[in-house]
A and B are shown apart, each in its own frame.
Chain A
Amino acid sequence: MASPRKVADIGTDYAQRYGFHDPEEYFLRSPKGLSHEVVEAISRLKKEPEWMREFRHKALDIFLAKPMPTWGDTQMLSEINFDEITYFVRATEKQGETWDEVPENIKRTFDRLGIPEAERKFLSGVSAQYESEVVYHSVKEELTKQGVIFLDMDSGLREHEAFVREYFATVIPAADNKFSALNSAVWSGGSFIYVPKNIEVTIPLQAYFRINAERMGQFERTLIIADEGSKVHYIEGCTAPVYSSNSLHSAVVELIAKRGARIRYTTIQNWSNNIYNLVTKRAVAWEDAVVEWVDGNLGSKLTMKYPAIFLKGERAHGEVLSIAFAGPGQHQDAGAKAVHLAPNTTSKITSKSISKGTGRATYRGLVKVRKGATGCKTSVQCDALLIGEAARTDTYPTMEIAEDQVRVEHEARISKLGDEQLFYLRSRGLTDDQARLMIVNGFIEPFVKELPMEYAVELNRLIELEMEGSVG
């Protein structure tokens, strides 16, 4: 990696310094590690406009200049080897991996979840795309009629450049944090959605409706703009474990809810346990807008994710509802941010975590109320469930309230999967496993009931797998 430069020194002469003309050739030779050459090649390969290329290069300099976060799981973070990572994989190359290389436990889980063959291959990176043209076709017609744009981010940039340029990175600037800078430099895939004024998208938009899209890219970039009075629900991920030989995933998701608009963003992710999942998600909610993050995190080695809502317009409302399941050896460092910048804005954060075995769950949250943002209300509730003596949970709720006329509620609860609950259920004939599962499913019920039916069913099944054979 290049030696760090100060963020302030970052220049704009990237084209002169790194311009070259054979990106295809480049990727044939040096697939690993991060450099301006890689960034240049990605941008050229995608035939991106000049401003995006500049943006990527600048972001890379920011990434190189920024130190690693000094909070969170610094130990695990320090183990990331940025030189060992492939930053760009062409769709065609994904097929290089064979079904045989997919680990046994992942295959078993596919079996148990009943994932169809085609989808399995896609999920495990064996096949580049999951053909769902039939489903997508009717959806697409409907959307086009309404003037809704729903594309992968790369196509979005190609087909609606001016639009993308206006909003891209306005919610999360490259310099926001080290990993948003990384994503900005090497992003690929993700969704671009625009919902016109007063349009209500009735079916949830799901990433897998998109064809030819790098749905599960390592460095996804999603931007959703809901224009005034519109409404949209976007669903990302699925409960099947996402296997990748690449250990770093770092997405950036930006949401813009204009006056009176409503966005719900639902995520369920189940990464294989070699993966660092370091994601920046942030929304801006204008006057009377509502933004909801529904965020479920399973798997991964380390997840750091704190969906944020900036309440910029009066009476805007934000909610973050999340669950995290930290199995043995995993660390889920998740939370939420609500920043009240306008009067009478409200927020509600509900965070549930389960730590099992040596699993570790951390809630890290920030609620901020700016001076002058009177009449705000915020409530934060964190529930942690511990399974086994070695399980661990920590809570770091930060409140920065600069205004007196604010109602703040905060509640944190830690419970152990208790002997008395188990005994009660077992005295009714349920086996130890059944009883544990019932308690855990009950614990996450407030989350599950917010999910569309098929996801709820899948999530329950997945939790069942995670709970299997749990000792203590």
Chain B
Amino acid sequence: MTHGELKEDIAAYALDALAPEEARKVEAHLRACEECRSEVAALREVAGELASGAPMVEPPSALRARVLAAVRPTPPAVTLPRAWAVSLAGAAAAVLLILAGLTVSLQRERAALHARLAAQGQVLALLASPTAKTASLTGTVPAGVRFVYDPDRRRAALVVTDLRDPGREFVYQLWLIAGQQPESAGVFRPVPGQPIIVPVAADLARYQVVAITVERGPHGVPRPTATPILLAKI
């Protein structure tokens, strides 16, 4: 299709009035044509004005809560070599070695460096603390999952050495439970053959139980939808 032919469709494109295959043709042309790109930009502004022709209705506040819960950041999972994880509860000297080998798996590459530093800092502070405690999570599946926490420093980390894959569409979601009230502490997926650490920042004195459910990914849910597969009292 030529520039001239496509130009005829640009207004319809800006109005989303093309069939999907026509829209794809326009998009292919836009990648190559600066003139059409700037015309689309201008017509998009016009279309944006048409949006304010819709009668304004306040969205429900529950929707706001749901959307914000969906984007609440997932603690970056920290992976470390299996051999080091075994000695995790042991010598503090090993801690520095572990930290040297930390690799962070993150969806957001640009946030990776910041998150890695913060995660390392958290885990370092936690493992170095003489007041840190450990609870093993048990439940309906075989697992090697420990919750290391330090109520004094409001820091904790979930150490996952063995946990099966939750399935393509699913994630594990960690919950801190105060009374009857579960609060999400993040979602994670196990990395095959590699232990991972999920850092948690929370006022741990408030909670009595830590639990894990299987939830729909990638963001998890604001409230648990299933019974926990693993839990521990803290």
Chains A and B are bound partners = no
